[in-house]
């Protein structure tokens, strides 16, 4: 098996398949192993044998009221992966929805005060981020795709802020040396994100009446997330 497991939390099969392909491409792992937590628990794979985990996004929100049993099970399994990274047994990268799960697990607050629409956002790397092995080799600023309704209200206890911007102050953080969380989507190319827009057209991430304009903006954007993901395999636990 590959040493990295892609963890899916998306109910929409087409979006899940596309996200898997995106991560595989940017990680440089052709046969990237996969588990869909909507259909299987961690216990269905030998998950503790993996050195690395990349967790994709989801239309779920940590702040959702009246969560289904499925969503609760998904969040429980994501917390188990985060705990393994906190114990230095693996390296994990949580994206978008996942940063909310990790923030809550750490005792932080998840809020809906800093939403970002579908866009290519500029984020700034902090001084701590400049010294980080994943974020540090890149430029002082990055352009990344965002689309979310909730976010961390502030850096949770024990975490080091790695990236920020004015619209959403917590764009990325690290806990310990092996647990990473990003609010943005590092795996999405412009075409990937445009395709994802079609799936989530009525989900509240952008005004569907402005679909064509938003799609053109996405397709014309230049983003840097692939460079970040290409460095991830080099951080795997020994």
> Residues of the chain with pLDDT > 70: what percent?
98
Domain segments of the chain: what residues?
A: 4-235
118-156 confidence digits (pLDDT tens): 999 999 999 999 999 999 999 999 999 999 999 999 999
pLDDT band at 238; cut points 50, 70, 90: low
Q: Is the CATH code 3.40.50.880 the one for domain 4-235?
A: yes
169-192 confidence digits (pLDDT tens): 999 999 999 999 999 999 999 999
Q: Which residues pair with 174 in a beta bridge?
A: 160, 180
CA distance 92 to 81: 7
Instruction: Mention every residue, 6+ apart, whose C-beta is less than 8 A from residue 68.
Output: none
Residue for token pair 């503790």: 48
Taking a C-beta distance cutoff of 8 angstroms, is the pair 123, 164 a contact? yes
The torsion angles phi and psi of 133, rounded to 5 degrees, stand at: -65, -25
CA dihedral for 166, 192, 237, 108, sign (positive or negative)? positive
Predicted model pTM: 0.97
Please give the helix or strand (H or E) that residue 86 lies within, else none. Answer: helix 69-86
CA distance 238 to 235: 9
Residue 208 DSSP SS3: helix
Angle between helices 211-219 and 190-199 (to 10 degrees): 160
CA distance 186 to 64: 24
In the structure encoding, which two tokens stand for residue 209, read together? 């009446």
């Amino acid at each position: 098996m590959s040493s990295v497991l892609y963890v899916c939390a998306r109910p929409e099969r087409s979006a899940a398949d596309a996200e898997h392909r995106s991560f595989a491409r940017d990680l440089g792992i052709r046969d990237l192993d996969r588990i869909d937590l909507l259909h299987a628990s961690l216990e269905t794979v030998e998950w503790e044998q993996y050195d690395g985990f990349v967790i994709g996004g989801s239309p779920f929100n940590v702040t959702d009221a009246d969560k289904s049993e499925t969503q609760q099970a998904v969040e429980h399994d994501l917390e188990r992966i985060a705990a393994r990274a906190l114990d230095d047994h693996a390296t994990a990268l949580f994206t978008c929805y996942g940063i909310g799960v990790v923030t809550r697990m750490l005792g932080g607050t998840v809020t809906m005060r800093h939403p970002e629409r579908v866009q290519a956002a500029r984020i700034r790397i902090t001084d701590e981020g400049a010294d980080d092995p994943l974020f540090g080799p890149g430029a002082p600023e990055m352009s990344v795709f965002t689309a979310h309704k909730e976010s961390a209200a502030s850096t949770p206890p024990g975490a080091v802020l790695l990236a920020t911007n004015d619209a959403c102050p917590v764009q990325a953080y690290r806990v310990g040396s092996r647990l990473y969380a990003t609010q943005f989507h590092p795996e999405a190319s412009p075409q990937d994100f445009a395709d994802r827009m079609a799936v989530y057209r009525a989900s509240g991430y952008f005004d569907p009446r402005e679909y064509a304009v938003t799609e053109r903006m996405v397709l014309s954007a230049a983003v840097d997330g692939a460079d970040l993901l290409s460095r991830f395999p080099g951080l795997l636990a020994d």
